[in-house]
Amino acid sequence: MIEKQFQRLSDEVGSCNRCGLHEHRSRAVFGTGNPYAELMVIGEGPGEEEDKQGLPFVGKSGQLLDKILGAAGFSREENVFIANIVKCRPPENRDPTPDERTTCLPFLLLQIELIQPSIIILLGGTALKGLIDPDGKITQVRGKWMKWHQFHVMPTYHPSALLRNPDLKKDVWADMKLVMQKYRELVDPEHQSPHI
């Protein structure tokens, strides 16, 4: 049931030309993971490797994201769905503009509506601005639960920020501990992580 709606939406994303980003894309990046996941992770937009493969977070920051998720006992195949604010790569990996974010947002909102996750992790300022608060500052709100509609939302740093500044890793790990706690509370009291 969800799978069919997902396929239809994914086809629509694949042929979208609502903004200029479609002109430069190799492939649109719909998202990946378990459509029944209780945990959804939202990034910014595809980079070079993602644009080539049509999958989110498959480059360097994706490898780090997989490590972070794995350390918290989650995996994209099993219990996570990963998507982005914009589905097409901004040229030169620039930040998507507010207009591009707004134009692409209906796709993400439909994904959230179909998946109905209990918890959403926002990775970085663009995800925060694109979904919840155009004036939001990730440095101010990270690590603090936000309630957006019925969803529990945890903003944290984007993995690419950790690649630039490894000191931020401890903050993201603290935020992931809160996510594990909430996941145990809302979804699976038996949830195990290799670390805690």
Write out the residues near ligand URA by the rule CB under 6 A: 29, 43-47, 50, 56-57, 59, 61-62, 84
Task: Enumerate helices (H) and strands (E) in the chain, giving the number of each.
Answer: 8, 6
Comparing CB distances to ligand URA, the nearer of 65 and 141 is 65
Sign of the Cα torsion 113, 33, 9, 106 reads positive
Comparing CB distances to ligand URA, the nearer of 43 and 136 is 43
Comparing CB distances to ligand URA, the nearer of 67 and 195 is 67
Q: How far is the CB of 185 from ligand URA (least distance, A)?
A: 27
Which 3 state secondary structure label does DSSP give 131?
helix
Q: How far is the CB of 8 from ligand URA (least distance, A)?
A: 22
Report how far Cα 159 is from the mean position of its chain's Cα atoms: 11
Q: How far is the CB of 174 from ligand URA (least distance, A)?
A: 21
Q: 89 near 24, Cβ under 8 Å?
A: yes
Comparing CB distances to ligand URA, the nearer of 73 and 125 is 125
Task: Report DSSP letters for 59-101, one per residue.
Answer: SHHHHHHHHHHHHTT--TTTTEEEEES-SSPPGGGPPPPHHHH
Comparing CB distances to ligand URA, the nearer of 110 and 163 is 163
Q: How far is the CB of 184 from ligand URA (least distance, A)?
A: 27
Comparing CB distances to ligand URA, the nearer of 61 and 79 is 61
Q: How far is the CB of 56 from ligand URA (least distance, A)?
A: 3
The residue behind tokens 């439909």 is 110
Q: Which residue is nearest to ligand URA (CB)?
A: 43
Q: How far is the CB of 187 from ligand URA (least distance, A)?
A: 24
The residue behind tokens 């509370």 is 185
Rounded to 5°, angle at Cα 36 from 185 and 121: 55
